[in-house]
């Protein structure tokens, strides 16, 4: 399961690189199981960091993809957080 998840993440990142380079007019950084991650959203997070923090666009994108995969997995399993847990 983890190997499959790792393969999916690598494929999405590689797809994103080519997609980001050649198709910026749509402003989509990645598509994860049909859900879009937008360049603007990644740039918004990136702007919160100082240049000296070493945080890059790719790091934020990878973290965003991972978070979205976890949320999608939880939804698929019927998991929900209560207001108290949030």
Range of the domain at 33: 2-76
**pTM for this model (two decimals):** 0.64
| Positions in the chain short of pLDDT 70 | 3-6, 8, 10-12, 14-26
Q: State both tokens at 74.
A: 């939880």
**Domain assignment present for 23:** yes
CA distance 65 to 16: 11
**Domain assignment present for 85:** no
**Domain assignment present for 52:** yes
């Amino acid at each position: 399961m983890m190997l499959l998840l790792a393969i999916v993440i690598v494929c999405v990142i590689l797809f994103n690189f080519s997609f980001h380079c050649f198709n910026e007019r749509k402003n989509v950084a990645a598509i994860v199981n049909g859900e879009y991650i937008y360049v603007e959203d990644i740039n918004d997070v990136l702007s919160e960091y100082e240049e000296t923090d070493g945080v890059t666009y790719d790091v934020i994108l990878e973290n965003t993809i991972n978070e979205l995969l976890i949320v999608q997995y939880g939804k698929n399993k019927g998991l929900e957080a209560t207001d108290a847990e949030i």
